[in-house]
Amino acid sequence: MAVLGCHRWTNNARRLLALSFVVMFCRMKPVYKKIWLIFARVTILSLITFLLGEVVLRVYDHFNPSFVFFNDSYNRFRGKPHADDWNFKLNSLGFKDKEFTEKKAKGYRIVALGDSFAFGVVPYQDNYLTLAESQLQKEHHEVDLLNMGIIGIGPKDYLSLLIREGLAFKPDLVLLSFFVGNDFSGARKHHFYDYSYVASLIHRVATVWHNYEGNIFYGNGEYCDDCPSMSADQYLNIAKSRSGMYVKGDGLFPRSLDNALFYLERVKNICKERGIDYVVAIIPDELQVNPELRREVRQKFYPNVKDDQWETTLPNRALASRLSRLGIDNLDLYDEFAAAGARQRLYKLQDTHWNVAGNRLAAAAAAKHLQKYLK
């Protein structure tokens, strides 16, 4: 009875409020009525336009995933099929590789997963996966390597990509490129505008209007190996944002390591169930192998951190150790890049990715490591 009485009181209150509004409106002066009606119409039309915009943008993004809108799918950064990429065109699936064909009867197939290091900022012929495939084919003609790298994805996406697409190509080995610089990072946090596609579009347009520096991919221009990709300050800030894991006692790294291993182990389990070999290539950040960059970051952002508090190889050692305990074969590229990095530049100028020399060094190391699976 109390609930029923409360319900009746609520209905009566609503009727009274509506009646009060009608009375107030009737007593308004004509000019105020006109203003109010205009305001009401504009508000209703704006609301309808907003809702229609949400529907249209969500339908569009469903069929044409875009980085403009928040999306947990790995498709958000997939390349546009047949898009220009320097002197090459992406294949029909949007990957930086030739068209994927049926596996040969006696062929040995490698499916390569990764982010922008697998996709690469260099032209197709200089990409480390392209070069590794060519080197392997010199002695093993039956080998083919499918580059399924997608810019901006991480461990969770590698697992999804393997399940949804990679397994269909019947791989004999999965090569997963793990970048120390950002593959330990978790999923991006939601901003308030992420919950609305219209608001996300407005935010992106406003951001691009002031900060546009080019497309995600590279078009059909001329590649420049010595040209900087961003300003020195921008690059230093990126390096700083990734450097906390090298300081002893960083509380975020252990959890980030566990999160990454959660997905890497599941890739292992899937491969094991199907008799697929599995290798994780651990890619160092430039901060680890470029003494000059490391010195600059430490002087500017960590002036009070002593040498014994800084561990440059901590992420690699921790990841390699845990992978080995899980029975996952891994190739840590740190030693080779640290040695070579003292003599030459291996990363594109003011860019987080390998230049041509870096890709060649990685390709040689990867091909050498993978040889044991082909004997």
The CATH number linked to 348 is 3.40.50.1110
- The verdict on 44 and 97 lying in the same domain is no
Higher pLDDT, 307 or 38: 307
- The verdict on 110 and 226 lying in the same domain is yes
Determine contact, residues 297/243, Cβ cutoff 8 Å.
Answer: yes
With cut-offs at 50, 70 and 90, classify the pLDDT of residue 216.
Answer: very low
- The verdict on 311 and 355 lying in the same domain is yes
- The verdict on 240 and 157 lying in the same domain is yes
Q: What is the pLDDT of residue 250?
A: 87
- The verdict on 227 and 129 lying in the same domain is yes
Residue 201 lies in a domain: no
- The verdict on 10 and 150 lying in the same domain is no
Q: Tell me the pLDDT of the chain averaged across its residues.
A: 87
Give the tens place of pLDDT for each residue, 102-127: 999 999 999 999 999 999 999 999 99
- The verdict on 250 and 284 lying in the same domain is yes
Determine contact, residues 315/283, Cβ cutoff 8 Å.
Answer: no
- The verdict on 284 and 161 lying in the same domain is yes
Q: What is the dihedral of CA 295, 296, 302, 304, to 10 degrees?
A: 60
- The verdict on 100 and 20 lying in the same domain is no
Whose structure tokens read 């044409």? 64
Q: What is the mean pLDDT of residues 18-22?
A: 67
Q: What is the pLDDT of residue 79?
A: 87
Residue 209 lies in a domain: no
Q: Which residues contact 320 (CB under 8 A, 6 or more apart)?
A: 282, 330, 332
- Which residues constitute the domain of residue 36? 2-63
Residue 250 lies in a domain: yes
Q: What is the pLDDT of residue 159?
A: 95
Question: CA–CA separation, 79 vs 129, rounded Å?
Answer: 17
Question: CA–CA separation, 173 vs 281, rounded Å?
Answer: 13
Share of the chain above pLDDT 70, in %: 83
Give the tens place of pLDDT for each residue, 131-147: 999 999 999 999 999 99
Residue 364 lies in a domain: yes
- The verdict on 134 and 51 lying in the same domain is no
Give the tens place of pLDDT for each residue, 158-184: 999 999 999 999 999 999 999 999 999
Q: What is the pLDDT of residue 209?
A: 44
- The verdict on 13 and 108 lying in the same domain is no
Q: What is the pLDDT of residue 214?
A: 30
Among candidate residues 18, 42, 63, the one where a domain is terminated: 63
Q: What is the pLDDT of residue 89?
A: 95
- The verdict on 104 and 148 lying in the same domain is yes
Q: What is the mean pLDDT of residues 215-220?
A: 63
Q: Which residues contact 127 (CB under 8 A, 6 or more apart)?
A: 96, 119, 120, 147, 359
Residue 84 lies in a domain: yes
What is the number of domains present in the chain?
Answer: 2
Residue 205 lies in a domain: no
pLDDT at 296 over 80: yes
The reported pTM is 0.78
